Amino acid sequence: MTRTNYHHGALREALLSATLELIEAEGIGAVSLRRVARAAGVSPARRTTTSRTARHC
């Protein structure tokens, strides 16, 4: 399921494809942002210490 030729210009398609492959292989319970990112060959999003609402105040 790991991709070797990821192209950053198609991030959305790569993530959707990786998600569907993960669901087909292991079921919906196996889906997480970290696993989808790994399968798509990209870094997962990082958590920030500042909440979204606090940044907009």
pLDDT at residue 17, rounded to an integer: 96
**Does residue 2 lie in a domain region?**
no
Per-residue pLDDT of the chain (57 residues; tens, 9 = 90+): 555 555 567 888 999 999 999 999 999 999 999 999 999 888 887 766 665 565 555
pLDDT at residue 26, rounded to an integer: 96
In the chain, how many domains are there?
1
**Does residue 41 lie in a domain region?**
yes
pTM of the model: 0.65
Domain extent at residue 27? 8-55
**Does residue 3 lie in a domain region?**
no
Query: Which amino acid, 45?
Result: A
pLDDT at residue 25, rounded to an integer: 97
**Does residue 28 lie in a domain region?**
yes
R_g of the chain, CA atoms, integer Å: 14
As a residue count, the chain comes to 57
**Does residue 16 lie in a domain region?**
yes
pLDDT at residue 10, rounded to an integer: 84
**Does residue 36 lie in a domain region?**
yes
Give the list of residues 6+ apart from residue 41 with CB closer than 8 angstroms, or none: 2, 3, 4, 6, 14
**Does residue 1 lie in a domain region?**
no
**CATH number of the domain where residue 26 is located:** 1.10.10
